[in-house]
Structure 1
Amino acid sequence: MRRFSLWLRGKPMIADGALALLFFALEIVSYISSEREEHWQQLALGFLICLPVLWRRKYPRVSAVAILLMSFTSTFLMWMSGNASVEHPGLLALGVALYTLVVYVDRRTAAIYLGFLLIDSTLAMLVVRTDIVLDLIVTAMLFALAWISAEFVSARRAYDEEVAARLEVAEYDRDRRAEEAVAAERTRIARELHDVVAHAVSVMIVQADGASYAVDTNPALAKKALGNISSTGRDALAELRRTVSLLRTEVNNDAMPQHGSAGIAKVVEMMRATGLNVRLELTGELDDITPSVSLGIHRIVQESLTNVLRHGGDSPKARVTVRRTDTAVLVEVIDKGTATSAFTGGSGNGLVGMRERVAVLQGTLETGRRPDGSWRVYAELPLAIQD
């Protein structure tokens, strides 16, 4: 049953079609029980009332307006014909339309629609001339039930979307940290490789020069130098093979961050999906910066916004400003959080990692609490890195 429910959730038009058929079946039952075969057009109108339900989630506004127009049409036809006994149980779709607007559109649109529903219901009651007070109470209860149910479902959907967004950020952050760990390890291996090869080659060159000078005058010394060259070469080759074997795994380039303004915008949009209120300001040309500086900007913004999300309270806000000058790129991230969020965690090495990255790029980093209680991260990264 749960598997069927998940399958049905992915195909909304099937569920909506079943609901429309249910309403139309009620119309057929009402038509048969009325024993008024000459009013077959009322059955056609009932079909038109139920039909928009099929597209209620794909086109919620259009579907809701179409159902409301059919309801007005039904009231008008009753008034013109003087026959107030015609019932349309398919008009329950009005409550479904109100529910759909609250869940899939917004409350303002739903409130306007509710106003038209009350006007339509009042007109229908005046035409039918029944107990208006009782009918108003029943109708109000029906619409109130639809609205309250929609509020519960809407809140649940918003919660699920926020949790899914936060899980996506956590997964992205986990993959990013894994890639950074691999990159750091590769850098360490590259340094080892450089040290091993440079040392071995230097020794071999010195020994070879010495052997060439001593080959005629001191053959024993030359022989010893050649032996040193041989052993040094073997040791270097063994070390080289060991180091290269660590580099055989491939790096997933798709997991690497996107550079430039597009990369910064991607990080900001991902954080906004979690509920973090972020304002982004980009000034100057940021797409032709060297990859190392661009990656540094990307990581500083990402780590700062992640910290805001973790520690910025229940309604975290942040402002990200990236400005390029003639000689440097200035990155500033200010959060407006005042409490500790429930989504906390992390190793506590975020600021340390930022400082190390900024130091590698020969820039400066300032972090700390401001007088107004907000937290500020400010980095200045030079465009030209000195050797």
Structure 2
Amino acid sequence: MRTDRALLHDTVLAVVLAAGSLALLLVYDPATLQAQGLPSDMLRDLDPFGAVLVVLTCAPVAVRRRWPLAGLCAGMLPEGLLSAFGYGAGVAGLAGMVLLYSVASYRGLAVALGALLLSLTVYASQAVLFALPTVGWSDHVVVAVVLVAIWGAGRSLRLRRAYLDELKDRAARAERAHAADTRAARAEERSRIARELHDVVAHHVSVMTVQAAAARKVLASDPELAREALSAIEHTGRMAMSEMRNIVGVLRTDARAELGPQPGMQDLPTLVEQMREAGLATRLSVEGEPRPVPAGVDLAAYRLVQEGLTNTLRHAGAGAEAVVTVRHEPRELDVRVEDDGLGATALSEQPGHGLVGIRERVALYGGILNIGPRAEGGFEVRARFPLKGGQ
């Protein structure tokens, strides 16, 4: 559609130039020029042959955007014949200028320079071969300067068009990059939320399941113990609901979440005690001098211990014991969860989302994660987080 509109405009321009040239030659014929005291020597009246030459000179303007160089070359022949046979070119000479401008505007520098050199050479040849007594060297210099100026205007337009296209391309690339960054950020946020939800739900539900099973077994024989187990289930459920409410509150745009500190390694004793109440024999060992660590690493270490103990509770079997070891080193934090149960086979056959989330957390902070069975039996989850600046 845009090409058709441009062709229509150029065709109209060619018709206007041809009609103007013919009208000018008809109105200002040699007799009229002589009557007005203007020089009319070596000019002849317009006849059908001359009219055809004028039309042929202006016709290439119709294709100036598609074939500008070919149009320039095609218009030079009839324009030269107009000079050779003594016709006045009228405004037909503007057609060559329009075509030179089009070559400079729509073609590369080498082709544009060639077109300028060709136009100057052809004009110089016509000036030498068909020189008029009334035309001096200053007139020829003015024409040459006009040709160069028109060529320069075409080159300026081409450079401006290229600059605008580059700006549009940069804007499009920036928009695509922004969209890609937005998608990546959303995907990362979804992964983070999924990890948090899984860690909260899986841990608390696993603890509640074990406690409920214990309460069911002793309900008839030891009601007091069953009551304690049910109280623990209620407490665990309230904790799960509170953490889930905070996570969902962050996602809602029409409600403010109750902000609070994320769990960290300072909460490991509470976590270990909770696992003991659920029936898993758990020990906590802290080696080295505790020191502050980045908040993200602190949360990742806590979630790793939480996931490791939850898997031990679910898969290690009755009588298993878990050991949580936290070793503080000058440039590394070593966190390990070991058990002597039978959960290795179950975990290797069907890895859950929790271990996938742990891998993502550890990788996010440049840590090294080892998950697998121990040589002496049982299962191990171990992560080593690098600490910068001696933290």
**Interval containing the TM-score (normalised by the shorter chain):** 0.5 to 0.7
Mapped contact 1:68–1:117 kept (Cα < 8 A): no
Aligned pairs (5 A) from 1:269-280: none
Matches within 5 A, 1:1-387: 11-33=5-27, 39-60=47-68, 64-76=69-81, 79=84, 83-130=85-132, 131=135, 133-226=137-230, 228-229=232-233, 232=236, 236=240, 360=364
CA contact (8 A) 1:102 1:151 kept: yes
Structure 1 residues 33 and 189, CA gap change in structure 2 (3 angstroms): same
Percent of aligned pairs sharing the same letter: 33
From the superposition, tell whether residues 243 and 15 of structure 1 become closer, same or farther in structure 2 (CA, over 3 Å). farther
Q: State the AA in 1 paired with 2:217.
A: Y
Letter in 1 for 2:75: M
Opposite residue 113 of structure 1, the aligned amino acid is A
Q: Is the 8 A contact 1:72 1:120 kept in 2?
A: no
Give the superposition deviation at 1:245. Answer: 8.6
The answer to whether the 8 Å contact 1:200/1:236 transfers is: yes
SS of residue matched to 2:27: helix
In structure 2, distance between residues paired with 1:171 and 1:358? 32
Deviation at 1:207, TM superposition (A): 0.8
CA contact 2:75–2:96 (8 Å) conserved in 1: no
Match of 1:287 in 2: none
Displacement after TM superposition at 1:220 (Å): 3.7
Contact 2:208 2:233 in 1 (8 A): yes
Cα deviation, 1:348-368, whole Å, max 9, x if unaligned, reads: xxxxxxxx99965979xxxxx
Please give the alpha-carbon distance, in whole angstroms, between the structure 2 residues aligned to 1:10 and 1:218.
93
- Indicate the SS of the match to 1:164: helix
Counterpart contact for 2:14–2:62, Cα < 8 Å = yes
8 Å CA contact retained: 1:95, 1:146: yes
- Tell me the CA shift for residue 203 of structure 1: 1.0
Secondary structure of the 1:84 match is: coil
Larger radius of gyration: 2
- Going from structure 1 to structure 2, the CA distance change for 1:76 and 1:51 (only over 3 Å counts) comes to closer
Amino acid at match of 1:163: L
How far apart in 2 are the matches of 1:219 and 1:205?
18
Question: Is 1:17–1:54's contact at 8 Å kept on the other side of the alignment?
Answer: yes
Check the 8 A contact 2:18/2:58 in 1, yes or no: yes
Match of 2:373 in 1: none
What is the RMSD computed on CA atoms of the aligned residues?
3.9
Range with bigger deviation, 240-249 or 180-189: 240-249
> What is the distance in 2 between the residues matched to 1:123 and 1:357?
80
Distance 1:136 1:184, change over 3 A: same
The 3 A distance-change label for structure 1 pair 242 and 20 is: farther
User: Partners of 2:252 and 2:200 in 1: how far apart?
Assistant: 19
- Deviation string 1:265-284 (CA, Å, 9 cap, x unpaired) is xxxxxxxxxxxxxxxxxxxx
Shift of 1:103: 2.1
- Report the CA distance shift for 1:178/1:187 in structure 2 as closer, same or farther (over 3 A): same
Alignment deviations for residues 271-313 of structure 1 (CA, whole Å, 9 cap, x no partner): xxxxxxxxxxxxxxxxxxxxxxxxxxxxxxxxxxxxxxxxxxx
**Are residues 58 and 76 of structure 1, via their aligned partners in 2, closer, same or farther at CA, if it must alter by over 3 Å?**
closer
Contact persistence 2:105–2:158 (CA under 8 A): yes
Q: Does the C-alpha gap of structure 1 residues 357 and 240 become closer, same or farther in structure 2, counting only changes over 3 Å?
A: closer
Q: Is the 8 A contact 2:22 2:90 kept in 1?
A: no
Q: TM-score, normalised by structure 1?
A: 0.52
What code does the residue aligned with 1:47 have? V
Alignment partner of 2:220: what SS? helix
Cα deviation, residue 234, structure 1: 6.9
CA pair 239-10 structure 1, distance change in 2 beyond 3 A: farther
